[in-house]
Amino acid sequence: MESPAQESGRRIYELVRRRREGTISRRAFVQAVTALGLSMPLAAMLERRGLAALQESAPSGEITIVLPRSLVALDPHGAQSVEEATAVISSHVFDTLVVRDAATGELQPRLATSWQAIDETTWEFKLREGVTWHDGTPFTSADVKASLERVQSLEGPLAPLWALVTEVQTPDDLTVIFKTSEPQGTIPVSAALFFVTPAAHSNDEGFFDNPIGIGPYKFVSWVRDSELRLEAIPDHWAGAPGVQTLVFRDIPEVSARVTALETGEIDFTFGLPADQLPALAENSELRIDSTPSYAYYFNWFNCSREPFTDARVRRAMAHALDLDTIVNDLLQGVGVRAQAPIPSTIFGFAPQTPYEYDPEKAKALLAEAGLENGFETHVIWNPGSGPQDRELVQAMISYWAEIGVTVESREMERAAWLDALLALDWDMDFQTNTVRTGDADFTLRRLYVSSANRTGYANPELDTILVEAAAAADPARRQELYAQACKIIWDDAVGIFPFELLENYVYRTRLTDFVPTPSAVPVFTSVKIAE
């Protein structure tokens, strides 16, 4: 998918680099560059100025980054594969076949240069030539095949995305073919989350304690719960990163993290509570980049439990909340009102009619359902899952009390919460969720088809729509189907979808050229240090 212009640009870049290293003569350089279509004077100028430019852009300096949650493992295929911390490190050390452009949301070539559906159940990816692992081994289709099989066999959270892939074929070193048992339009989208690791080593004992990567940074060292260091690959095929050394420190306590940012001990962090932001915004040494994200809050109803079996009760609960006030008071700078069961950043998003704040209507709906005296219920939640979660739960409970519904807040540690959640052992569940792929399929089909039975809600019509949407290869058709799905889930109030979240990246002003990402997986390749 690389244009001819891009291609020759890359070659010129490569030549300039080699000239700088002194591996080719001035004469050979000018010849090679003119052969690529540049005029002689231009080639001569490039010889002089291009070198200077390249020298300036050689990676330099060190920046320290703190992620919101501790890094647990580097293996991008296993149990931790959807953890943001793991994805951040993987994005630098490893690489994906395609990448979602942070600004446009479009899929861009990365380790794959092009891809296409050959027929309904076959996807073909052409791989980039001349890419090597950090130990010098060439990157081939065998690495892709081994990595995909590893994802499937480890049964981690990403495995379901590839469950329909029955076979990976490698007709040559630079071609990979995925065969699926049913039509699956989401393969390229899923490929943006799929990190390739070296086939020769991935199953070695301890490989991920000291991995060999392929990305713009190579792994140097990691002391768990303390510090991880990466060094730039100056001659990376996609160009040299701006910063020589990335240090990822672990500081779990918010006060300590904010203090470290203010004192300059660290350069970059994100995922801070809303109440920390105003003070940081006033600090002239810091900059905040705010961007819509893939994350959002929902408050699910257990639709198989009384009284939430009745859609009127669910809608009443939605009408009871003054979401505009809550956003204004509690979520300023970190969240906005959601308009659909998925965030507006997601492919497949379609805005819905908001449930307006109307306690009288809520009471009337309850009365219709025979609950004029209200009822008692509970909400389960796991603290730390999102910004201001405790305050939000308290605020919602306060509003529900106004319409006569007494809600007990059941705060649970993660393992116990997960247990209860999966066992459908709850009345309401409040949590954040992230549409990791940026595509509605990841969230809607996984969570709302009847067979998943995540909310006790079963709707054959919705099932048909979601399955068809996943199979379709045509984006326009998929968009249309997801719009229908959003409407059904929203109008039936399977849950309340109150807020979508913003991601706030806070960093010291000496960093420049950072590109904010909606995925909460920031990439530092473009970052430079201003002196």
Report how far residue 140's alpha carbon sits from residue 133's, in angstroms, rounded to the nearest whole number: 10
Q: How far is the CB of 275 from other proteins (least distance, A)?
A: 6
Size of the chain, expressed as the number of residues it contains: 531
Give yes or no for residue 397 binding other proteins (CB under 8 A): yes
Number of chain residues interacting with other proteins (CB under 8 A): 69
Q: How far is the CB of 441 from other proteins (least distance, A)?
A: 12
Say whether the peptide bond before residue 307 is cis (omega within 30 degrees of 0): yes
Among 182, 225, 306, 513, binds other proteins (CB under 8 A): 225
Binding mask 286-325 for other proteins (x = CB under 8 A): ---------------------------------------x
Residues whose CB is less than 8 angstroms from the CB of residue 60 and which lie 6 or more positions away in sequence, other chains included: 242, 243, 244, 529
Give 161 or 176: the residue with its C-beta nearer to other proteins: 161
Give 62 or 368: the residue with its C-beta nearer to other proteins: 62
Report how far residue 341's alpha carbon sits from residue 339's, in angstroms, rounded to the nearest whole number: 7
CA angle 401, 407, 409 (to 5 degrees): 130
CB-based burial label for 58 (10 Å; 0-12, 13-18, 19+): middle
Using CA atoms, how far residue 25 sits from 13, 28, 32, 149, in Å, is 15, 5, 11, 45
Report how far residue 216's alpha carbon sits from residue 111's, in angstroms, rounded to the nearest whole number: 12
Which span (39-47, 192-200, 283-291, 393-401) binds other proteins, by CB under 8 A? 393-401
Which span (53-61, 262-270, 300-308, 506-514) binds other proteins, by CB under 8 A? 262-270
Binding mask 418-457 for other proteins (x = CB under 8 A): xxxxx-----------------------x-----x-----
Among 92, 257, 478, 528, binds other proteins (CB under 8 A): 257
Which residues ranging from 156 to 195 are in contact with other proteins (CB under 8 A)? 156-157, 159-160
Among 78, 109, 307, 343, binds other proteins (CB under 8 A): 78
Q: How far is the CB of 386 from other proteins (least distance, A)?
A: 14
Instruction: State the Cα torsion 445-450-456-462 to the nearest 10°.
Output: 70
Give yes or no for residue 337 binding other proteins (CB under 8 A): no
Give yes or no for residue 73 binding other proteins (CB under 8 A): yes
Q: Give the count of alpha carbons within 13 A of 243, CB side only.
A: 26
Q: How far is the CB of 446 from other proteins (least distance, A)?
A: 6
Q: Which residues sit opposite 126 in a β-bridge?
A: 114, 175
Q: How far is the CB of 315 from other proteins (least distance, A)?
A: 22
Residue among 431, 396, 430 nearest 317 (CA): 396
Q: How far is the CB of 341 from other proteins (least distance, A)?
A: 16
Give yes or no for residue 409 binding other proteins (CB under 8 A): yes
Report how far residue 425's alpha carbon sits from residue 149's, in angstroms, rounded to the nearest whole number: 34
Give yes or no for residue 253 binding other proteins (CB under 8 A): yes
Which span (143-151, 224-232, 341-349, 455-463) binds other proteins, by CB under 8 A? 224-232
Report how far residue 118's alpha carbon sits from residue 178's, in angstroms, rounded to the nearest whole number: 10
Among 351, 354, 370, 383, binds other proteins (CB under 8 A): 383
Q: Give the count of alpha carbons within 13 A of 71, CB side only.
A: 28
Give yes or no for residue 252 binding other proteins (CB under 8 A): yes
What are the structure tokens assigned to 420, written together? 């209860």
Residue among 240, 268, 213, 237 nearest 92 (CA): 213
Give yes or no for residue 62 binding other proteins (CB under 8 A): no
Report how far residue 176's alpha carbon sits from residue 126's, in angstroms, rounded to the nearest whole number: 7
The footprint of other proteins (CB under 8 A) covers 70, 72-73, 75, 78-80, 82, 155-157, 159-160, 206, 208-209, 223-227, 249-260, 262-263, 265, 273, 275-276, 279, 325-326, 329-330, 383-384, 390-391, 393-395, 397-398, 401, 408-411, 413-416, 418-422, 446, 452
